[in-house]
Amino acid sequence: MGFAREFKKGLWDEIPVFRVVLGMCPTLAVTTSLENGIGMGLAATFVLVCSNVAVSLLRNTIPDKVRIPCFIVIAATFVTMVDLLMNAFTHSLHQSLGIFIPLIVVNCIILGRAEAFAARNTPALSLADGLGMGLGFTMALMVVAAIREVIGNGTLTVWGSLRWSVPAGYEPTLLMVLAPGGFVTLGCILAAMNSVQARLAARAGVRYDPPQGLDCRHCIGCKPEP
C-alpha cells in the first residue's frame, strides 16, 4: 500500500517540475529535443533512486550535523558513476547532454528528496519515492521537450524508433528551441496544470493551493511531508 502511494505521488500530486517547481535548470536547459529530455530524465531517475536508497539505509549512521555533506557525497558519487557509464555505453547522448550530467549533483530534487523523504523513511519506501519522483521528472521533461522540438524544430525523434516531422510548409519557430522557448513552454504548462488541478480540487470540494515558486510555504526543503 505505502509503496504504491509513495510511487504514485511523484507522478501527479507532487510531480517535481510542474507541481513542486524543483529542478528548473535541467528542465529549461536540456529540453530542446525529446531524446535529450528522456536521457536527462532517466539519468536523474537512476541517481535519485540510488541516492534515496543509500541515504535511507544510512539514515541512522549519518550524524545530523554533517548530513548535508554526506548526502552530497552520496549524490556526487552516483552522478559520477552515471557520467562514466553513459560516456562508455551511450556515447553520443553523453556528448549532447554535456555539462548537465555532472550538474545532476546540484539538482534540487536529489537533495530535496534525500532531506525530506529518504532521511526519515525505510529503504523500500524511499525506493518507491525515488522511482516515482524520477519518472515524474522524466515525464515532465518529455512533455516540455516534445512541445519544444515539434514547434521549434518541426521534428520528433526517439533513437530510430520514432521519426516524425511536421508536414512540409511549416516553418519551425526557432524561438522555441532557444532559451525563451523553454520559459514560455514551462509557463504555459504550469498554468494548464494549475487550471486542471484547481478544477479537480473544486469538484472534490477541497481547498487548492497553487505552487507559488519556492517560498517557505511550499518548499519541501526543510518541512516534513504532511
Partner 1 sequence: MKESLRLVGVMAAFSLVAGLLLAITHAVTAMPIQEAGKRGKVAVICRALPEADNDPLAETRTVATNWTFHIGRTGGRITGLAFQSSSTKGYGGRIEVMVALSPDGAIRSVEILSAAKETPGLGTKVAEPKFLDQFKSRSARDNAWAKVAKDGGAIQAVTGATISSRAVTEAVRRGLDVFAAHQGDLVGEAVPAKE
Binding stretches for partner 1 (CB under 8 A) = 32, 61-63, 65-66, 69-70, 73-74, 76-77, 80-81, 84-85, 87-89, 91, 95-96, 98, 152-153, 172, 174, 177-178
What's the DSSP call for residue 104?
Answer: G
CB atoms near residue 207 (< 10 Å): 6
For partner 1, which is the closer residue by CB, 185 or 197?
Answer: 185
CB of 14 to partner 1, least distance (A): 29
CB of 209 to partner 1, least distance (A): 37
Report strand pairing: 155-158 vs 162-165.
Answer: antiparallel
Grid cell for residue 200: 479537480
For partner 1, which is the closer residue by CB, 95 or 195?
Answer: 95
CB of 5 to partner 1, least distance (A): 31
Closest to 44 in 3D by CA, of 97, 118, 122: 97
For partner 1, which is the closer residue by CB, 87 or 195?
Answer: 87
Q: Is 160 helix (H, G, I), strand (E, B) or coil?
A: coil
For partner 1, which is the closer residue by CB, 76 or 189?
Answer: 76
Closest to 86 in 3D by CA, of 98, 77, 74: 98
Grid cell for residue 146: 516534445
